[in-house]
Structure 1
Amino acid sequence: MIIVLIGYMGSGKSTLGKELATALKFSFLDLDDYIAKEENASVPEVFNNKGEIYFRKKETEYLSKIINSSDNLVLALGGGTPCYGNNMALILENENVTSVYLKLSIPLLAQRLFLERSTRPLISHINSEEDLQEFIGKHLFERIPFYSQAAQTINTDAKTQEEVLEDLIALF
């Protein structure tokens, strides 16, 4: 079984993914980290040096490779991964894969991401939490049709990390 965690950046996919993998005795993989390793460059470097189209093609290639050749894995996707190419179809059509959308409200996402925006190229230029909320809102409007296709959704608002982890474990 492969558990694919989907959600906006800052929703806890990597953090919770590692904990879920440990609890289930599964392996954990962050797709962005995998891409960086395979490409010998960070994701921002791949974007800047080879362009977004190259990155998205590689992202789909690596996603397909992972979900078709792995087992007992928790896979954290990049926030945009489900929205490009045929990535959601790859996930939904594979009987070995269960997808979970970690849903967090815009104000909470903005609060989390504002403090770490210097490490996130997509939002590093945003200088106020208000502007960040507006950016996230527009982005989510485009992405929710993809995220909402996940087999399961966990609303993480007003829950501790431990409570969300319990919800995740209960699914499996």
Structure 2
Amino acid sequence: MKIFLCGYMGSGKSVVAKRLAEKLKFPLIDIDDQIALIEHKSIPEIFKSRGELFFRKRENQVLQDVLEDPASLLISLGGGTPCYANNLEMILNGKDSVLIYLKASVGFLTNRLASEKDTRPLISHLKSDEDLEDFIRKHLFERSYYYNQAHWKIPVEGKDIDSIVDEIIENLK
């Protein structure tokens, strides 16, 4: 089985994935971490030196490799992974693949991301919290078409990590 976690940046994919992988005893692959490892650069450095198009192509290649791996895996996707190339189709059509959307509101994401702007290439150029909220609102609207095709949607607001993980495990039964 391959369990994919998707959602907008700041929705908790990485931290939920780590805890879920521990509980399920599945190896964890974070797509962004894999790309950084392959390229020997951080994601912000890749965006700056090679651009988003290069990043998205590499992301697609890493996703293909993950899907071809015969092992059971837990995969934390980048926020945009399901929205580019044929990534969503590959995940949804993957053998024994489950896609889970960690769903959060614009306000929740804005509050969470406000202090992380400098480390996130897509929002590092935004000057104010109002600009950030507008950007997230537009971006989340554009991406919701892809996210909402997930097998399950798990709201994350007002829940601790263990509650989210337990809810996912319950759905897997």
- Above 0.5 in TM-score? yes
Aligned to 2:56: 56
Matches within 5 A, 1:133-152: 133-152=133-152
Q: Tell me how far 1:71 sits from its aligned partner.
A: 2.0
Matches within 5 A, 1:71-110: 71-110=71-110
- The answer to whether structure 1 residue 47 and structure 2 residue 47 are counterparts is yes
Deviates more, 1:58-67 or 1:123-132: 123-132
Deviates more, 1:123-132 or 1:90-99: 123-132
Aligned to 2:113: 113
Secondary structure of 1:150 counterpart: coil
Deviates more, 1:25-34 or 1:42-51: 42-51
CA distance in 2, matches of 1:125, 1:37: 25
Equivalenced residues, count: 172
CA distance in 1, matches of 2:161, 2:15: 9
Indicate if the aligned counterparts of 1:2 and 1:70 stay in contact, CA closer than 8 A: no
Aligned to 1:21: 21
Q: Tell me how far 1:149 sits from its aligned partner.
A: 0.8
Root-mean-square deviation over aligned CA pairs = 1.2
Aligned to 1:8: 8
Identity %: 47
TM-score for the superposition, normalised by structure 2 = 0.94
Aligned to 2:164: 164
Q: Tell me how far 1:13 sits from its aligned partner.
A: 0.4
Unpaired stretches in structure 1, ≥5 consecutive residues: none
Secondary structure of 1:153 counterpart: strand
Structure 1 residues 35-81: Cα deviation after superposition (integer angstroms, max 9, x where no partner):
11111222222222222222211110110111211422111011011
TM-score for the superposition, normalised by structure 1 = 0.95
